[in-house]
Structure 1
Amino acid sequence: MATIKTSKKTTPTTINVFYGLNESTDGDTELKLGEASVMKNWRVTDGGKLKKMEGYAPLFTSLGTGKIQGQWYGKVTGTFYHLFAYGGSIYKRTSGTNTIIGTMTDAPTSFFFFNEKVYMKNGHEYKSWDGTTFADVAGYRPKIAISTPPGGGGTLYEETNRLTGAKHQTFSPSGTLTAYQLAETAITSVDFVYDGTTLKTAGTDYTVNLTTGIVTFTTAPTAGTPNSIDIGWTKGTGDRASILGCLFARVYGGANDSRVFIFGNDTTRNRLYYTGLADTVPSAEYFPANGYIEVGSDEFSVTDAQKHQSSLLIFTEKGSYYASYESVTLSSGLVAASFPAYSINDIKGNVALGQVKIINNNPLSIYEGIYEWTLITVGSDARNANYISRRVQPSLDLVDLTKAVTFDWEEKGEYWLCVGSLCWIYNYRIGVWYQRENVKAYNFLEIDGELYFGTDGTIMKFDPDLRTDNGIAIKAVWEMNFYDFGFEYLNKYMNNVWASIKPDPKVRLDIATVTNNDGTGETQTIYYSLATFEHADFNKWSFLTSYNPQPFYIEIQAMGFTYFKLILTNESLNEDCTVLSINMPARMGGKVR
């Protein structure tokens, strides 16, 4: 009796959840269904769907060929400002207009806000802006001694300030002595002398011997009021180079954010400097002479520091540390703040200067790959560093990670790492990776949930309504793994594929199939247009009005294959796409021979 052989049907294979990019070194046949071997310019939504990424456009006409060196957004004296550095100038942007507020060396610039001022550092200068005045940070004049008798001495009160050679000292007059000995000799100048609130006049009320550091009053000041005499003077310029040479700043203070820590000076590469309290008030303009931390060996630079819970985590090119507040008595007898550093890991640190980001309250650092730091404890235990970039490590290995620029786009729950014009994006809400091309970013900024990046001559803004990168088509590519439908030893047959698409005013999806024996098949295109006259294209006109998910059917000819994959693309200048699911009903045949 004759029989007709038919292939066995199986339950259709459906991708309902997309799991992002996995560049497995074991080959893409080992990926789980929903992972992609190539994924560029698609985003995985929080619901696990595939959505083409938005485009961007310039915020303003290009200023020229130079780089946007840094940017900041926040409130100063009650008004929100967008500040950025370009071409040796600092601009404020308000109401769509760019206005120069000051000048700085054209170099990468970091901004931070402290005590009602915006501060700017670029490794050459240290500037501030209070909404009106843009100026060099001259530095706080410390009160180095109080309750001083005319003959000198007194009680030590504050350390000298690295930013300036200016100081002052208060005296308690005896009522009879006229000569007052300052704490320093060979001084540059005496800048003021106060008796109570009265400013005295040089030459009339007093004379100065710069060599001995003695101020002699014409008439002995009246006794009875402690610290009624206040004398200010200058000797030298301090050690400004150590502070001006730093590029980055972080705010930390132990239980409160009362101090500024700076780093990035090539001449003191393993050192962080920190501010003190200026007469008990937090200040970004007072760097005490002993206010610094030396971390590890001077062979390796400090590359970042971030507040983590009650500690300051410090990263070097090789190794990581933590510091927290302690008080210490100096050899002079003065009690000062101290932040000793203790090792966490002797190997893993961070290689990209200033690019550690706090994600979900845990630091992410760059050392060969990307590490999330959890369970921070004292000791060199590498298990504190959770390796999270395994799925994209092959492509990360091809670039220089010391040049990485990173950002946390909190609105999207995305950690961005960009080198050149290619970005690796980690959606930390759902734990998946994908890539974004054509983003040449020197820095990023988020304003009201929207992402901006500084590039050559201008600032670009991502916009969910844009389908191009400043007029250039965005080619979104999602390439499925080679899949065997659970039976690698059987031949398969498939005649159709269904794709479920989210309705939008204009949608396009190009679908290509690839098998192990026939290579890449013909690309087929799905179009969908809701009935709207906005930007209407009557060549693709449709009177469809449903906003419900729409399944689309395409015919394919995939015969006798073992492995199968789909490639989904969208390179349209004006058509969006969100893929909700893919259905692939394969039929099983005979054994592979």
Structure 2
Amino acid sequence: MSRYQIPVSKQPDPVVIQQFRGVDFSADSTQVDPSRSPDALNMIADQAFFPVKRTGYKRVAQGSGRVWGLHRLTNTKGEWVLAHIGTSLYRLDDSGVLTKLCDGMGAASSQSFVMGDCLYLLDGTTYRQFDGTTVRPVAEVAYTPTVRIGAPPAGGGTDFEAVNLLTPTRKESFQADGSSATFQLSTNGLDSRTVSATVAGAAKVEGTDFTVDRAAGKITFKIAPPKAVQNVDNVVITYRKTISDHRQ
């Protein structure tokens, strides 16, 4: 019966480096001379392949909590850096001082964009605007649409703009007939916030110039507004109606 002799495994030849000559970033790591290293702790190659120290970190501020985002606003008035730390938003000064702007931020990565000299922040919880001074929900400054125009006092008219999902505020525009004092809105169940109105451009005050039946969506003026001239709307009513899933 034939036998097979297993050869004795060859021991690797030792490599003795008499003099270490530094790092070689110019060649492939498999082709680097044994007296050099293809890598080194905290060292990288610059554009000319010379070794330089690896870029490190410098502490510019210290907060309590995880940093979820850093955001910058630059406009004609100045430049600001905002830090989203934990569930709060801070303004970061050049000296490293953190000044809290608001609480209630989401505990998740935040994003932002700049439009119209303002910074808009999205954190999955509240959509916010920063104008260089104040942080506030976009719902407070969102565009108020005119949802109905050319409406007679009894209601109706023409649909004009869609409801803005960011804000419960909306407007309706009427053409007064000179005798009707009650104006029917296109919806009912209004919010408790004050209703405002203008008649021929003049502001009218709830409780003084008119009353509101929120459940029915009716506005009743103490004095009937004058008749509209040349079919031009002369009564504008601004009110709020919150629909729970709109903002989400």
C-alpha contact 1:145 1:170 (8 A) present in aligned 2: yes
Who is 2:220 aligned against?
Answer: 216
- How far 1:52 sits from its partner (Å)? 3.9
Secondary structure of the corresponding residue to residue 56 of structure 1 = coil
Who is 2:188 aligned against?
Answer: 185
RMSD (Å) for aligned C-alpha atoms: 3.0
- What code does the residue aligned with 1:92 have? R
- What code does the residue aligned with 2:132 have? G
Who is 1:161 aligned against?
Answer: 164
Q: Using the alignment, how far apart are the partners of 1:45 and 1:76 within structure 2?
A: 35
Indicate yes or no: 2:110 matched with 1:109: yes
C-alpha contact 2:87 2:104 (8 A) present in aligned 1: yes
- What code does the residue aligned with 2:84 have? A
Indicate yes or no: 2:70 matched with 1:71: yes
Who is 1:491 aligned against?
Answer: none
* Deviation per residue, 1:519-563 (Å, 9 max, x gap): xxxxxxxxxxxxxxxxxxxxxxxxxxxxxxxxxxxxxxxxxxxxx
Q: Using the alignment, how far apart are the partners of 1:238 and 1:56 within structure 2?
A: 46
- What code does the residue aligned with 2:155 have? G
Q: 1:240 to 1:44 in 2, by over 3 A?
A: farther
Who is 1:142 aligned against?
Answer: 145
Q: 1:212 to 1:17 in 2, by over 3 A?
A: same
Alignment of 1:240-319 (within 5 A): 240-242=246-248
Q: Using the alignment, how far apart are the partners of 2:38 and 2:149 within structure 1?
A: 70
- What code does the residue aligned with 1:79 have? G
Q: 1:216 to 1:88 in 2, by over 3 A?
A: same
Q: Using the alignment, how far apart are the partners of 2:83 and 2:122 within structure 1?
A: 12
- How far 1:123 sits from its partner (Å)? 1.4
Q: Using the alignment, how far apart are the partners of 1:188 and 1:77 within structure 2?
A: 38
Indicate yes or no: 2:80 matched with 1:98: no
Who is 2:123 aligned against?
Answer: 122
Query: Which of residues 229, 233, 237 is equivalent to 1:227?
Result: 233
Who is 1:527 aligned against?
Answer: none
- How far 1:241 sits from its partner (Å)? 4.8
Who is 1:133 aligned against?
Answer: 134
Q: How many residues align?
A: 213
- What code does the residue aligned with 2:134 have? T
C-alpha contact 2:63 2:98 (8 A) present in aligned 1: no
C-alpha contact 1:72 1:111 (8 A) present in aligned 2: yes
Q: 1:122 to 1:181 in 2, by over 3 A?
A: same
Q: Using the alignment, how far apart are the partners of 2:98 and 2:213 within structure 1?
A: 51
- How far 1:56 sits from its partner (Å)? 1.8
Q: Using the alignment, how far apart are the partners of 2:50 and 2:157 within structure 1?
A: 71
- How far 1:195 sits from its partner (Å)? 0.9
Q: 1:144 to 1:46 in 2, by over 3 A?
A: farther
Q: Using the alignment, how far apart are the partners of 2:214 and 2:100 within structure 1?
A: 42
Secondary structure of the corresponding residue to residue 205 of structure 2 = coil
* Deviation per residue, 1:147-190 (Å, 9 max, x gap): 22223222322111222222111112222332222111233346
- How far 1:58 sits from its partner (Å)? 0.8
* Deviation per residue, 1:422-475 (Å, 9 max, x gap): xxxxxxxxxxxxxxxxxxxxxxxxxxxxxxxxxxxxxxxxxxxxxxxxxxxxxx
Q: Using the alignment, how far apart are the partners of 2:167 and 2:173 within structure 1?
A: 19
C-alpha contact 1:76 1:116 (8 A) present in aligned 2: yes
C-alpha contact 1:164 1:238 (8 A) present in aligned 2: no
* Deviation per residue, 1:249-295 (Å, 9 max, x gap): xxxxxxxxxxxxxxxxxxxxxxxxxxxxxxxxxxxxxxxxxxxxxxx
Q: Using the alignment, how far apart are the partners of 2:147 and 2:27 within structure 1?
A: 64
- How far 1:18 sits from its partner (Å)? 5.3
Q: 1:197 to 1:161 in 2, by over 3 A?
A: same
- How far 1:198 sits from its partner (Å)? 1.8
Secondary structure of the corresponding residue to residue 58 of structure 1 = coil
Secondary structure of the corresponding residue to residue 196 of structure 2 = strand
- How far 1:209 sits from its partner (Å)? 2.5
Q: 1:160 to 1:18 in 2, by over 3 A?
A: farther
- How far 1:39 sits from its partner (Å)? 8.3
- What code does the residue aligned with 1:101 have? L
Who is 1:85 aligned against?
Answer: 84
- What code does the residue aligned with 1:141 have? T
* Deviation per residue, 1:338-388 (Å, 9 max, x gap): xxxxxxxxxxxxxxxxxxxxxxxxxxxxxxxxxxxxxxxxxxxxxxxxxxx
C-alpha contact 2:82 2:89 (8 A) present in aligned 1: yes
Q: Using the alignment, how far apart are the partners of 2:127 and 2:200 within structure 1?
A: 33
Q: 1:101 to 1:76 in 2, by over 3 A?
A: farther
Q: Using the alignment, how far apart are the partners of 1:202 and 1:78 within structure 2?
A: 38
TM-score, normalised by the number of residues in structure 1 = 0.32
- What code does the residue aligned with 2:137 have? D
C-alpha contact 2:168 2:241 (8 A) present in aligned 1: yes
- How far 1:229 sits from its partner (Å)? 0.9
Q: Using the alignment, how far apart are the partners of 2:165 and 2:56 within structure 1?
A: 47
C-alpha contact 1:182 1:213 (8 A) present in aligned 2: yes
- How far 1:144 sits from its partner (Å)? 0.8
Alignment of 1:375-390 (within 5 A): none
Q: Using the alignment, how far apart are the partners of 1:45 and 1:105 within structure 2?
A: 41
* Deviation per residue, 1:58-102 (Å, 9 max, x gap): 113x334x2111111232451111111113322112231322222
Q: Using the alignment, how far apart are the partners of 1:230 and 1:206 within structure 2?
A: 13
C-alpha contact 2:89 2:105 (8 A) present in aligned 1: no
Q: 1:153 to 1:72 in 2, by over 3 A?
A: same
C-alpha contact 2:172 2:236 (8 A) present in aligned 1: yes
C-alpha contact 1:146 1:170 (8 A) present in aligned 2: yes
- How far 1:204 sits from its partner (Å)? 4.0
Q: Using the alignment, how far apart are the partners of 2:100 and 2:118 within structure 1?
A: 17
* Deviation per residue, 1:490-538 (Å, 9 max, x gap): xxxxxxxxxxxxxxxxxxxxxxxxxxxxxxxxxxxxxxxxxxxxxxxxx
Structure 1 residue ranges without an equivalent (≥5): 1-14, 22-27, 30-35, 243-593
Who is 1:206 aligned against?
Answer: 210
Who is 2:60 aligned against?
Answer: 59
The structure number with the bigger radius of gyration is 2
Q: Which has the higher contact order (CA 8 A, sep 6+)?
A: 1
Structure showing the higher strand proportion among its residues: 1
